[in-house]
């Protein structure tokens, strides 16, 4: 489903070109569970941003569901993000003034889904993630685990094919972290490709496929 | 994104920063209050002045002897022009579209009745005076349609004269001495009040020919012609000019049409209203700068949120709309508050000082609100574009 062919990404720092990713070749299928590990600055986040279409490769081709998405313009990429990709962040990134239910509803609102359908999906997600009694609370009234559950519910509200998680347990204690990981892993059973960036070998080790990155290259795959 | 959702999201951010939104809206509100208040007073003044000038009717042409060479009064009796005669007026009466003609002579004289005397304005008028102008008789009747050159010694009193000389009595049929001659009172005019300092009620009306004699004048001071409202003013003017030239042998008179004077006066007053409105608009502009400042801050503060929206599939246009919507909502709310304040203060002023005319046309209110929203739109464009163009990766990283 996801295919990277010789993808490189370099940045200009001052007048020096710094390569963040070099010649990445990667293919991920629906329902795959992939963890990306490596030290800071190894290019994990850059790779995740490229997969999530938040960034464009300097060279190489990225195919998503067979189509070349590197050639798409901003608006088309936004549509692909909306339809196929979900994000979960380390710092949750919930909108502080909106309730849990509205945070979950946000991608549906942006995609222009009719209100009746939205209501149905949000109710289902609140139920699935055990947030029923937290629906009308704002993020600052929620615990860390609850916040990340809202974020996961939001990331899956558009039923994406790919879920990208950048250190999803980084701001959580171990027990809560493990619960969140289990929720994410459950998604792979519904044929969602889960791609997880982490420092933590205990979490990264649970994935069926593990990528080790150093200096913008994948040095080992299992 | 559907419109109700856009409204819901922008409202949520305006409400999230209540104090800040209130102060920003206040800037616009003060601007709109100033604009509405100033233009309302301007418009009130406009209507007041126009109604003062048009209370005798608008389809009136004033003819004066002598040619006005420049701005200013006519040369009148000092010039070598022929005086306007009662016969001239009768000749004009027969022109097409002319409805009524009044002959006017005015002067001051002492009047006596009931053992009291009073120095007042004496106006020499014709039978058609009340029809030429919209000026009604309260009791009795106006001067009859006598032969203008052999009019009987009859007089009609202004409301104040009647009050001063015949308080509590019926003056009809009694006699009034005007400049030594005895006049029989046949009517009393309704009260009209002062018109630009000239008290119409402290006046008596006698036949024009008798007034000419009384003041020893060779000709009329003015002739008023009222014409059919549907007639073309220019045609009526040229018909009058032609007829008088024919009678006088030259162009020695001046025509002033009420309609044209009102037009000129109206446009002058419009300029004044516009000018005071523009003064108020300066404060509105300052309010717009306030919105620009707040929205620029909001974009900086909410950079991470903008990155998130982009990650969730928001297009640049949607981010743009969200921030523009917020700026416009702030200014629209401020505008509405300003309308309420402006109209409220205007009404209160009118209550406190009834002499101060205040009038707010709906069009002004609608225009003011539109300009408030437009200012929000203009002020919001720059910050909203900045928000829309943020790089999502950079934006997400800022926290």
What DSSP string runs through B264-318?
HHHHHHHHHHHHHHHHHHHHHHHHHHHHHHHHHHHHHHTHHHHHHHHHTT--HHH
- The verdict on B233 and B293 lying in the same domain is no
Whether residue B241 lies inside any domain: the answer is: yes
When pLDDT is cut at 50, 70 and 90, the band that residue B115 belongs to is confident
Query: Which among B251, B286, B309 is the end of a domain?
Result: B251
- Residue B395 to chain A, least CA–CA distance (Å): 11
Instruction: Judge contact between B43 and B273, C-beta under 8 A.
Output: yes
Give the percent of chain A with pLDDT over 90.
90
* Phi and psi torsions of A164, nearest 5°: -105, 125
| Span B331-348, average pLDDT | 94
* CATH code, A20: 3.40.50.300
Report the Cα B322 to chain-centroid distance in Å: 43
Q: Which residues of B touch A110 (CB under 8 A)?
A: 1, 309, 312-314, 318
Q: Are residues B286 and B242 in the same domain?
A: no
Mean pLDDT check: name the lowest of B178-192, B208-222, B327-341, B350-364: B350-364
Element containing residue A174 per DSSP (H, E): helix A174-188
As a three-state string, the secondary structure of B60-86 is: EEEEEECCCCCCCCCCHHHCCCCCECH
Q: Is the Cβ pair A110, B1 closer than 8 Å?
A: yes
Residue that is last in its domain, among B202, B222, B251: B251
pLDDT tens, residue by residue, A30-70: 999 999 999 988 999 999 999 999 999 999 999 999 899 99
- For chain B, the domain total comes to 2
Task: Give yes or no: residues B237 and B368 share one domain.
Answer: no
- Flag whether B68 is in a domain: no
Q: Which residues does B34 contact at the CB level (< 8 Å), separation at least 6? A: B279, B280, B283, B284, B342
Closest Cα in chain B, distance from residue A130 (Å): 22
Residue B283 located in a structural domain: yes
Q: How many domains does chain A have?
A: 1
Q: Which domain holds residue A70?
A: 2-221
pLDDT of residue A167: 93
Claim to verify: residue B385 and residue B302 sit in the same structural domain: yes
Comparison of pLDDT for A87 and B64, the residue scoring more: A87
Inter-CA distances, A155 with A87, A122, A162, B308, Å: 5, 12, 10, 11
**Band (B31; pLDDT cuts 50, 70, 90):** very high
- Are B231 and B102 found together in one domain? yes
CB A208 within 8 A of CB A33: yes
Verify that B215 and B109 share a domain, yes or no.
yes
pLDDT at A127: 95
Flag whether B70 is in a domain. no
The neighbouring-strand residues paired with B195 are B198
**Cβ-contact A36, A88 below 8 angstroms:** no
List the domain range (segments joined by +) for residue B170. Answer: 82-251
The answer to whether residues B175 and B48 belong to one domain is: no
Domain identity same for B223 and B293? no
A114-164 pLDDT tens trace: 999 999 999 999 999 999 999 999 999 999 999 999 999 999 999 999 999
pLDDT at B198 over 80: no
Total length of chain B: 399
Q: What is the DSSP secondary-structure string of B205-224?
A: EEEHHHHHHHHT-SSBSEEE
pTM of the model: 0.75
**Confidence at residue A114, expressed as pLDDT on a 0 to 100 scale:** 95
Name the maximum alpha-carbon separation found in chain B.
104
Boundary (domain end) residue, out of B195, B223, B251: B251
Query: Which residue on chain A is closest to B317 by alpha carbon?
Result: A75
% of chain A residues with pLDDT over 70: 100
- How confident is the model over B57-102, as pLDDT tens digits? 788 899 988 876 555 555 444 555 678 898 999 999 899 999 999 9
Instruction: State how far the Cα of B242 lies from the Cα of B248, in Å rounded to an integer.
Output: 10
**Span B242-281, pLDDT tens digits:** 999 989 888 888 898 888 888 888 888 889 888 988 888 8
Please tell me whether residues B246 and B269 are part of one structural domain: no
User: Do B132 and B174 have their domain in common?
Assistant: yes
* pLDDT at residue B70, as a whole number: 54
Spatial distance between the Cα atoms of A128 and A43, rounded to a whole number of angstroms = 34
Asked, for residue B48, whether it belongs to a domain, the answer is yes
Residue B352 pLDDT more than 80?
yes
In a domain, residue B257? The reply is no
ipTM beyond 0.90?
yes
Question: Is residue B219 in a domain?
Answer: yes
- Cα distance between residue A185 and residue A34, in whole Å: 10
| Rounded distance between C-alpha atoms, residue A162 and residue A81, angstroms | 10
Strand order in the sheet with A16-28: A16-28, A2-13, A59-64, A67-68
What is the distance in angstroms between the Cα of B333 and the nearest Cα belonging to chain A? 20
Give chain B positions within 8 Å (CB) of A111.
Answer: 313
How many Å lie between the alpha carbon of A211 and the closest alpha carbon of chain B?
22
B265 CB within 8 Å of a chain A CB = no
Q: What integer is the mean pLDDT of A71-96?
A: 94
**What is the CB-side half-sphere exposure of residue B17 using CA atoms within 13 A?**
16
For residue A1, is pLDDT > 60? yes
Please state, for a pLDDT cut of 70, what percent of chain B lies above it.
95
| B307 contacts in chain A (CB < 8 Å) | 93
Strand residue runs (E) in chain A: 2-13, 16-28, 33-37, 59-64, 67-68, 85-88, 162-166, 193-198, 209-214, 217-221
B101 and B237 together in one domain: yes
């Amino acid at each position: 489903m996801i295919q990277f062919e010789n993808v490189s990404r370099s940045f200009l720092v001052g007048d020096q070109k710094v390569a963040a990713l070099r010649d990445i070749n990667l293919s991920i299928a629906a329902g795959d569970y992939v963890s990306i590990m490596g030290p800071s600055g190894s290019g994990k986040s850059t790779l995740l941003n490229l997969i999530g279409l938040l960034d464009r490769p300097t060279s190489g081709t990225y195919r998503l569901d067979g189509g070349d998405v590197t050639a798409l313009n901003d608006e088309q990429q936004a549509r692909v993000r909306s339809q196929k990709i979900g994000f979960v962040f380390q710092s949750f990134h919930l909108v502080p003034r909106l309730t849990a239910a509205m945070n979950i509803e946000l991608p549906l609102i942006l995609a222009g889904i009719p209100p009746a359908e939205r209501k149905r999906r949000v109710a289902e997600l609140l139920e699935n993630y055990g947030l029923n009694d937290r629906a009308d609370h704002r993020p600052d009234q929620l615990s860390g685990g609850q916040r990340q559950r809202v974020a996961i519910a939001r990331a899956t509200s558009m039923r994406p094919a790919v879920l990208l998680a950048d250190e999803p347990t980084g701001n959580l204690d171990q027990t809560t972290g493990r619960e969140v990981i289990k929720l994410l892993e459950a998604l792979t059973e519904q044929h969602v490709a889960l791609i997880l960036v982490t420092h933590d070998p205990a979490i990264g080790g649970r994935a069926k496929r593990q990528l080790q990155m150093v200096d913008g290259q994948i040095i080992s795959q299992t | 994104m559907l419109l109700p959702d856009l409204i819901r999201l922008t409202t949520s951010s305006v409400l999230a920063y209540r104090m800040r939104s209130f102060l920003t809206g206040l800037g616009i509100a003060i601007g709109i209050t100033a604009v509405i208040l100033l233009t309302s007073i301007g418009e009130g003044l406009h209507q007041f002045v126009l109604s003062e000038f048009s209370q005798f009717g608008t389809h009136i042409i004033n003819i004066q002897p002598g040619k006005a060479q420049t701005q200013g009064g006519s040369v009148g009796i000092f010039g070598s022009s022929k005086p306007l005669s009662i016969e001239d007026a009768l000749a004009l009466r027969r022109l097409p579209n002319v409805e009524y003609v009044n002959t006017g002579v005015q002067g001051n004289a002492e009047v006596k009745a009931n053992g009291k005397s009073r120095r007042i304005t004496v106006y020499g008028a014709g039978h058609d005076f009340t029809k030429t102008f919209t000026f009604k008789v309260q009791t009795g009747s106006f001067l009859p349609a006598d032969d203008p050159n052999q009019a009987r010694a009859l007089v009609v009193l202004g409301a104040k004269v009647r009050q001063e000389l015949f308080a509590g009595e019926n003056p009809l049929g009694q006699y009034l001495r005007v400049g030594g001659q005895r006049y029989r009172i046949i009517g009393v005019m309704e009260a009209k009040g002062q018109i630009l300092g000239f008290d119409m009620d402290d006046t008596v009306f006698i036949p024009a020919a008798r007034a000419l004699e009384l003041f020893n004048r060779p000709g009329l001071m003015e002739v008023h012609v009222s014409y059919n409202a549907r007639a073309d003013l220019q045609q009526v003017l040229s018909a009058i000019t032609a007829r008088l030239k024919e009678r006088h042998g030259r162009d020695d008179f001046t025509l002033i049409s009420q309609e044209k004077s009102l037009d000129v006066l109206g446009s002058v007053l419009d300029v004044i209203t516009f000018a005071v409105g523009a003064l108020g608009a300066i404060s509105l502009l300052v309010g717009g700068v306030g919105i620009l400042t707040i929205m620029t801050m909001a974009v900086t503060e909410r950079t991470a949120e903008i990155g998130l929206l982009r990650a969730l599939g928001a297009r640049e246009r949607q981010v743009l709309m969200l921030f523009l919507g917020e700026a416009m909502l702030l200014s629209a709310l401020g505008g509405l508050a300003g309308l309420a304040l402006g109209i409220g203060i205007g009404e209160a002023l009118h209550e406190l000082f009834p002499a101060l005319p205040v009038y707010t046309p709906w069009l002004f209110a609608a225009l003011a609100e539109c300009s408030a929203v437009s200012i929000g739109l203009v002020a919001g464009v720059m910050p909203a574009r900045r928000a829309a163009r943020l790089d999502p990766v950079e934006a997400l990283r800022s926290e």
